[in-house]
Structure 1
Amino acid sequence: MADESWPAKGKSKRLAENLGVDDRDEASKSRASGLIRASDCSPPPPSPPKRRSDRETSVRPNERFNIYKAILRHPNHFFQFAIRLPSATVVDLYAIDKEFHYRFNNYSTSIVSDYAYYPAPHAAFIFSWIIFPELCISDPLLKSMDGRSLLARDIPSLRWTKMVIYRDRVTRGILTCLGLEGHRFHRGTHVTLMKFWLLMEMQITAMREAFLRDDKVWTDMDIVFFHLFLVKLDMRLPDPILGNGMCELSHMLLTQKSLSLLYKVVAMVQALQDINEIYECEQPEEPESME
């Protein structure tokens, strides 16, 4: 079988190693000319922008840093800032500041609840806003109640927070006044006294009985603390020096609708007011200066 040989190369074809330096220069020149022709077809570069006048290129000065606005716009600091403000300040900011008004409405339920839980956690839990519908308002964002789109849900108001803080201070004031006169109590008596205040407001006897029978609400220790409170209150009222009357006075004070009257009697608030009024009436008027 005859050996098959590769076809011979044409005479016009040359190998790369046979190319001379001049041939390579010509090839590079042809490539460069092709690139130049391609660049001629490309779009022209954009013209430089026109120079603006000094009035147009003037930079707007940066706004001054406002710590109040920075706190309002912070996702975490706003809540801590709002719950530490006095109630009168919250009402004023809600009325005059649009941004505070908007953010307060967006988080009204959580802010109002935290506003009461921060200074008086036990009172906010015992005097829950669900028990006091007259102290609630309609949701400013008009969120529906129980899926009913035509009825806005109820949320706690600032009036409820004032009531909670007031009752917490009154109960603490009663125990403080008795403690300063030698009648000390356990720290749990404060919570027991607030539970009794809630019991005083119930108008139906069946509700009161159900409230007292619930072991989760009125524990055995609560009953013990309240009995100790009754004993020491009866010791305080008929006291020959600091007393205000006799033992039966405690029964009358504890059958009222609130403990505010008991606080006034124990702290002698009304007596001090009467003494101040008498003192002011007895003071002679100062003569007008002769000029």
Structure 2
Amino acid sequence: PTPTATPLRPPFNLLQNILDNSDLSLALAINLPIKQFIDLYAISKHFHWEVNSHLQGYIKAYIAHNAPDTAKIFKWSQYAKSTIYDPAVRPIGIHPAVPLAFRDRNRTIPALRWLQKVMHREHVANKIVSLLACEGLRLPHGTTTIIKKIWFLLEQPTCGQRAATLKDRKSWTDRDLLLATILFHKLDLRFTDPEHGKGEPALRTFLLTQKSLDPMLRVLEGYYSRKDKYTEFVNLILEAFYNEVRHAGMFDEDDEDDDNEDSEFGALGREHWYRPCPPLASPDTMILYEAFAQGLNLQKFIVDSILWGNADPRDGGAIPPIR
């Protein structure tokens, strides 16, 4: 008789066996860091197909597990460039806000770009709170959410939109205004520190004039202290306070950027980030105005805001710093 060869069993592949099970695949995905999630999505054909089959479900599960409050602040429907048509080609269906003629069209869902955006902002907010705490400037619970709400204000191109957002009592409660004020006090203490903060009180307003909080994180990390990053930091200053710097006599009067409306210098301090537009108030200024309009009298809590996290409320003793 002709001998028959016994087929070799393929080697056990843990990752492949996990991906073969939909529940285990989802559990693995939501526990991966965002970079590893994207890498696995790019290199694994099976995982790529599984995610595309239920893309919105994967994104919602990932956000609910890692940053539930962040998704409520940065809603995916507000970022048209971070949405795609459903790869599984699911129709919109019957919805009160959708005409019946459009119910069979492919629906729009959040893209992985939105997921990366949200997780990056979650990371930046947590890192800012951690860096301040390492300097002995502790913040109350919930301040990370306030930082993300301030970031959302930075994305609003006009004072009217920012004011309308602050007047929405569901988005900005009295407690949120108080926590934001405490955050501003702690930032001032950090930036005016004679050793670590260079003793400059204008840094807070300058950093809250940017379009994001990435520059604030870099300042707290000491990123701009490097000599090769000096020019980058100067450009940030010119984009925010070009007119003030020019009037201080640091540039020639016949600077060619003075008459260039499309120049980025000085654009961050204007509505729509365009130089000919009216001035754009920074979030810290508008938050303080809104707190005054609500009659919160936050000026009575300045000392308490500064001492929060540094003095024990039971006996007034000093709380030791984080080592």
Closer, same or farther: CA 94–224 of 1 in aligned 2, 3 Å: closer
Closer, same or farther: CA 61–172 of 1 in aligned 2, 3 Å: closer
Q: Distance in 2 between matches of 1:236 and 1:179?
A: 10
Unaligned runs of 5+ in 2: 95-101, 230-323
Match of 1:111 in 2: 58
User: What are the superposed Cα offsets for residues 125-177 of structure 1, whole Å, 9 maximum, x if unpaired?
Assistant: 32221121111111112222355266422212221121112111111222222
The equivalent position to 1:229 in structure 2, one of 183, 187, 201, is 183
Match of 2:73 in 1: 126
Larger gyration radius, structure 1 or structure 2: 1
CA contact 2:93–2:104 (8 Å) conserved in 1: no
Closer, same or farther: CA 252–140 of 1 in aligned 2, 3 Å: same
Question: Is 1:239 aligned to residue 193 of structure 2?
Answer: yes
User: What are the superposed Cα offsets for residues 226-252 of structure 1, whole Å, 9 maximum, x if unpaired?
Assistant: 111111211221211111342122112
Q: Distance in 2 between matches of 1:183 and 1:91?
A: 35
SS of structure 1 residue aligned to 2:76? coil
Q: Distance in 1 between matches of 2:178 and 2:44?
A: 50
Question: Is 1:210 aligned to residue 192 of structure 2?
Answer: no
Between 74-83 and 215-224, the greater mean CA deviation after superposition? 74-83
Partner amino acid for 1:268?
G
Give 1:88 deviation, angstroms: 4.7
The equivalent position to 1:101 in structure 2, one of 29, 48, 52, is 48
TM-score (norm 2): 0.61
Q: Distance in 2 between matches of 1:185 and 1:141?
A: 44
Closer, same or farther: CA 175–60 of 1 in aligned 2, 3 Å: closer
CA contact 1:244–1:265 (8 Å) conserved in 2: no
Q: Distance in 2 between matches of 1:117 and 1:90?
A: 15
The equivalent position to 1:199 in structure 2, one of 119, 130, 153, is 153
Q: Distance in 2 between matches of 1:260 and 1:87?
A: 18
1:21-36 correspondence to structure 2 within 5 Å: none
Q: Distance in 1 between matches of 2:146 and 2:217?
A: 16
Give 1:91 deviation, angstroms: 4.2
The equivalent position to 1:165 in structure 2, one of 91, 97, 119, is 119
Q: What is the CA RMSD across the aligned residues, in angstroms? A: 2.6
Give 1:257 deviation, angstroms: 1.1
Closer, same or farther: CA 139–251 of 1 in aligned 2, 3 Å: same
Partner amino acid for 1:196?
I
Question: Is 1:142 aligned to residue 89 of structure 2?
Answer: yes
CA contact 1:175–1:190 (8 Å) conserved in 2: yes
1:36-51 correspondence to structure 2 within 5 Å: none
Q: Distance in 2 between matches of 1:167 and 1:151?
A: 32
Partner amino acid for 2:195?
I
CA contact 1:113–1:156 (8 Å) conserved in 2: no
The equivalent position to 2:212 in structure 1, one of 258, 264, 267, is 258
Q: Distance in 1 between matches of 2:207 and 2:71?
A: 24
Between 139-148 and 252-261, the greater mean CA deviation after superposition? 139-148
Unaligned runs of 5+ in 1: 1-52, 276-291
Closer, same or farther: CA 96–246 of 1 in aligned 2, 3 Å: closer
Aligned residues: 223
Match of 1:185 in 2: 139
TM-score (norm 1): 0.68
Closer, same or farther: CA 93–189 of 1 in aligned 2, 3 Å: closer
Q: Distance in 2 between matches of 1:74 and 1:204?
A: 48
Partner amino acid for 1:182?
G
Closer, same or farther: CA 217–249 of 1 in aligned 2, 3 Å: same
Between 59-68 and 111-120, the greater mean CA deviation after superposition? 59-68
Q: Distance in 2 between matches of 1:189 and 1:179?
A: 12
Q: Distance in 1 between matches of 2:226 and 2:176?
A: 33
Partner amino acid for 1:85?
L
CA contact 2:69–2:145 (8 Å) conserved in 1: yes
Closer, same or farther: CA 68–180 of 1 in aligned 2, 3 Å: closer
- Which gives a bigger RCO, structure 1 or 2 (Cα 8 Å, sep 6+)? 2
CA contact 2:154–2:212 (8 Å) conserved in 1: yes
